[in-house]
Amino acid sequence: MRNSTFWIWTAVFVAVIFALSRVVTNDYFFFAAYLVLQYIVLATAWNILGGYTGYVNFGVAGFFAAGAYCSVVLHKIWGPPIPVLILVGGVVAGLIGLCMGYLTLRIRGVFFGIATLALAIVIQTFITNWDYVGGSRGVYIIRPAQAPLVGSYIQYLYLIMLAMAGLSVAIARTIEHSTLGYGLATVRDDEQSAEASGVPTLRLKLISTTLSGALMGMAGAPLPYYVTYLDPASGFNLSYAVNAIAMPLIGGTSMWLGPVIGALLLGTIQQWATVTISSALNLLIVGALLVFFVVVAPNGILGLWEVRRRRRA
Amino acid sequence: MSDTLLKISRLGKRFGGFVALDGIDLEVRRGERLGLIGPNGSGKSTLVNCISGVLRNETGSVTFDGQPLDRLATYQRTRLGIARSFQLPRPFRSMTVTQNLRIPLLYTVNARSTRRMTETAIAARCEELLRVVGLSAKADRRPRDLTQIEMRKLELARALAADPKLLIADESMAGLSHSEVDEILELLHSLITQGITVILIEHIMRAVMSFSERLVVLVAGKKIADGDPQEVIRHPEVERAYLGE
């Protein structure tokens, strides 16, 4: 897709979603759409490290919760506007990603995955034992009823998440078509060959972990205002990691569009199941879809589409 | 400018109790065609890995173009002008043949110079390299669609894309037919005319003897012979290493 086409489609998509927010009066729509958009950010962030670079991160919940708890701390100290919380959450989670990169990027494969999982557990243990942010009993955040210009506060959160989804997709697409993106792909394909071709693999992996972590933290920053009650069980919920991994795998990890398709598909199905059947089904749906795609389309929906396109050509 | 391009002094490397390289001394002159042979496990690949930076030597030193390499990462050595091909081809599998060649241009040639190559210049250089190695028709194919010799050619083309001063061809002809070996040899000969120094590591003696102007033999991590190829292969220790007592 050419640059101009991408930006036109992105603008149309954002405009449609924005227009919907002006027409729809039911607040539940915003609750549900916020979650889907949040998963677009999380899945896109995961894909920068997992899809482009080939390093599978199981510690998504750790980065996400780091952003959320940064907001709790700042809310208690000062109560800045949400864009500031997002920025700080992104910086903190990005730094965690950078440190994780330094500590773990000399290992790869399943060992790297285990290390990221361990990192999430370490952060969770720290938060559970930190009284200032509510510890294991959790913390209440009273959000304002109204937001300036927008009206309903949940609409405001939804619009913020919409902007973040657009930003994260734009970042992922820019990376994909840049020298950095090519470099990350060489790391995924063969690190030794990459180094022998002059690619500074360690530096690129650190950029990837930092950027991926920062976007996850940014996605988590508005969470306390969304849920209004945050405890470690909800902040570090297994579903964040499972969804952030499953969505790119189902959509396709080779390009920016994959996580978006996966997040829209899985997120919408989960929201539908939550309303019509039960939210307890959500993980079951992810599991069933993952098994289906691993068997039928191991390269995701985009991979399937690519195969069909090649056959026609 | 010194005539010596690569200088290896007292190079040593162990893997646990196994001595892979035992005090290797070697000098390679600019523009030289050096053959490096030795039985399996003699330390040839370990030596290449120590030169290219994949492995760190425990003792001794490696100097390239007057610059010590011991503290440099592999990518920094590539940027200095050391390129290598791998024993088993290791292409970037998700990329097309042309995209494989773009990587050294983006990350080595561009990093070396203050003026970055334009997209047009990169495309032109890729086309030229594909023509040199005879892969123009496969420019948009992925490595999985290539034959064994095409894979070897891609490996060499990618190494050449880094615009190296020294090319280390690690068993670039393994598994190839007689005529395919000749094709690769012709390609390597053409590099010499471009001023590239070549170290050829090979088991195919016909290829080594026809290509090399100097031959070095490694056995059990030690250099046992170094000199004119015709004299070296008649060296008693070399005969013993290859043919037994």
Confidence of residue B241 (pLDDT cuts 50, 70, 90): confident
pLDDT greater at residue A282 or residue B107: B107
Instruction: State whether residue A202 sits within 8 Å of chain B by CB.
Output: yes
What radius of gyration do chain A's Cα atoms show? 19
How far apart are alpha carbons B229 and B211 in whole angstroms? 10
Alpha-carbon distance A299 to nearest alpha carbon in chain B (angstroms)? 12
pLDDT, tens digit, 9 for 90 and up, residues A98-118: 999 988 877 888 899 999 999
In this model, does residue A44 exceed pLDDT 70? yes
Sheet holding B222-227, edge to edge: B82-85, B166-170, B197-201, B33-37, B214-219, B222-227
Q: Say whether pLDDT at A289 is over 80.
A: yes
Q: Where are the domains of chain B?
A: 4-243
Find the radius of gyration of the CA atoms of chain B.
18
Over the stretch A181-214, which tens digit does the pLDDT of each residue have?
999 999 999 999 999 999 999 999 999 999 999 9
Which chain A positions have a beta carbon within 8 Å of B169's beta carbon? none
Looking at CA atoms only, how far is residue A172 from chain B in angstroms? 18
Per-residue model confidence (pLDDT) at position B112: 86
Decide if pLDDT at B170 tops 80: yes
Which of A212, A216, A303, A297 is CA-nearest to residue A255?
A: A303
For the beta carbon of residue B220, count every other beta carbon within 10 angstroms: 16
Contact B162 A201 (CB under 8 A): no
Does B245 have pLDDT greater than 80?
no
pLDDT tens-digit readout, B26-37: 999 999 999 999
Mean pLDDT (chain A, rounded): 91
- Interface size, chain A vs chain B, as Cβ–Cβ contacts under 8 Å: 81
User: For A134, how many CA atoms within 13 A lie in the half-sphere containing its CB?
Assistant: 24
CB B42 within 8 A of CB B218: yes
d(CA B163, CA A177): 24
A192 touches chain B (CB under 8 A): yes
pLDDT tens digits, one per residue of B34-47 = 999 998 889 999 99
pLDDT for position A244: 96
Residues of chain B contacting residue A180, judged by C-beta atoms under 8 Å apart: none
Q: CB distance B158–A197 less than 8 Å?
A: yes
CB contact under 8 A, A190 and B73: no
Q: Does A254 touch chain B (CB under 8 A)?
A: yes
pLDDT of residue B1: 66
Identity of the residue numbered A42: L
CA–CA dist B118, B106 (Å, integer): 10
Give the chain A residue whose CA is nearest to the CA of B104.
Answer: A197
Arithmetic mean of pLDDT over chain B:
91
User: B185: which residues sit within 8 A by CB, 6+ positions away?
Assistant: B173, B207, B210, B211
The amino acid occupying position B203 is H
Residue carrying structure tokens 């592999």:
B74
Eight-class DSSP state of A49: I
Residue written as token pair 């899945």: A43
Q: List the alpha helices (DSSP H) in A54-135.
A: 60-77, 82-104, 110-128
pTM, full prediction: 0.91
Inter-chain CB proximity B91 and A190 less than 8 Å: yes
DSSP annotation string for B5-36: EEEEEEEEEEETTEEEEEEEEEEEETT-EEEE
Q: What mean pLDDT is predicted for residues B225-241?
A: 87
Tokens 């005319």 -> residue: B193
**CB contact burial B82-93 (16+ within 10 A = b; e otherwise):** bbbbbbebbbbe
Kind and range of the H or E element at B193?
A: helix B178-193
Facing A195 at nearest CB: one of B75, B91, B106: B75
Q: What is the pLDDT of residues B183-232, one digit of tens each?
A: 889 989 888 888 899 999 988 889 999 999 999 999 999 999 999 999 99
CB-based contact (8 Å) between A188 and chain B? yes
C-beta atoms of A183 and B83 within 8 A: no
- Calculate the alpha carbon distances from B11 to A172, A217, B34 in Å: 45, 48, 18
Q: Does the beta carbon of B197 lie under 8 angstroms from any beta carbon of chain A?
A: no
At B110-128, the pLDDT tens digits run 998 888 899 999 999 999 9
- Which one-letter DSSP state was computed for residue B118? P
* Whole-number Å distance between alpha carbons of A18 and A162: 8
- For B36-55, b/e burial (b = at least 16 CB within 10 A) is bbbeeebbbbbbbbbbbbbb
* CATH code for the part of the protein at B4-243: 3.40.50.300
Q: Find the closest chain A residue to B156 by CA distance.
A: A197
Query: For the segment A53-103, what is each residue's pLDDT rounded down to a tens digit?
Result: 999 999 999 999 999 999 999 999 988 999 999 999 999 999 999 999 988
